[in-house]
Structure 1
């Protein structure tokens, strides 16, 4: 809303009301105002004039507990953007397909693997291969929470490349 009422794009009934005009000569907030002093620790003033209020309020207040200092130093993580959410969804879908591929490909190899390794060894490695993709996805997602988005994407793409279900790729669902 502009300060000059004549420059407004729309005019509505009651626009002449003097209470709608914002004060122009008075500063927005002062350090000794009761509103700034009443803010609890960890809260900041926002809105018009908050620049003046935030600086003085932070100086006047001392943290009640030592843990408050550490909490103030931490910046909250920015929410994921649309492109990152779409990329995570696509990569999550690829990881889900990798799980299905490992299951199908591993079950196709079960008959041939009985000649090479014991059944217990095959079952252990089979389920480890099936669970490798969700473990990689979850581990990467948790360990890169504070990192930049491109770091998370690089690790997830590396997992897609490393965890390709080779039994399914080489034999398919029917086999040779």
Structure 2
């Protein structure tokens, strides 16, 4: 390869080179010379149909539902703390281990439901996944937060 000057791109020298011709005959002859015919490869028959990717609307809906589940988790945390304070204040006793255990399970329940719904309906249709996620939104409402509230009345 010959050494080129940095200013070669700014000159018209070499434009009359016949190998740079773009006529249809030159394109056809160069394609025949440079691209040999590939051997036909038989395609393997596929028993399974590849699933289509999720659309933009579904992706946004998953994000919104994930946000709702994150809010439900925060609601369970706040509600459990308020409910614990209310139980201790009214009865004068410390909340027992069963109460603490159930509140821990209630706090992690939205995250578990979201993950199980996504993983459990992986091969199913999208409407089934949204059905299970919607059921979870209704079932896992943080009732201590709703009933006692942030102020703890």
TM-score between the two structures when normalised by the length of structure 2: 0.70
Alignment partner, residue 35 of structure 1: 39
**Which structure has the larger Rg over C-alpha atoms?**
2
The match for 2:25 among 18, 25, 44 is: 18
1:105/1:168 contact within 8 Å kept: yes
The reply on whether 1:88 has 2:92 as its aligned counterpart is no
Q: Which runs of 5+ in 2 are unaligned?
A: 1-20, 29-36
- Segments ≥4 residues shifted beyond 4 Å: 114-118
| Matches of 2:57 and 2:80, distance apart in 1 | 34
The reply on whether 1:159 has 2:136 as its aligned counterpart is yes
Aligned residues, how many?
A: 123
The reply on whether 1:99 has 2:73 as its aligned counterpart is yes
Q: Which has the higher contact order (CA 8 A, sep 6+)?
A: 2
2:84/2:95 contact within 8 Å kept: no
1:101/1:168 contact within 8 Å kept: yes
The offset of 1:77, in angstroms, is: 2.4
Structure 1 residues 16 and 34 mapped into 2: Cα distance closer, same or farther (>3 Å)? Answer: closer
Structure 1 residues 155 and 19 mapped into 2: Cα distance closer, same or farther (>3 Å)? Answer: farther
Alignment partner, residue 170 of structure 1: 147
| Matches of 1:126 and 1:20, distance apart in 2 | 74
Alignment partner, residue 74 of structure 1: 48
| Matches of 2:115 and 2:130, distance apart in 1 | 13
The reply on whether 1:147 has 2:121 as its aligned counterpart is no
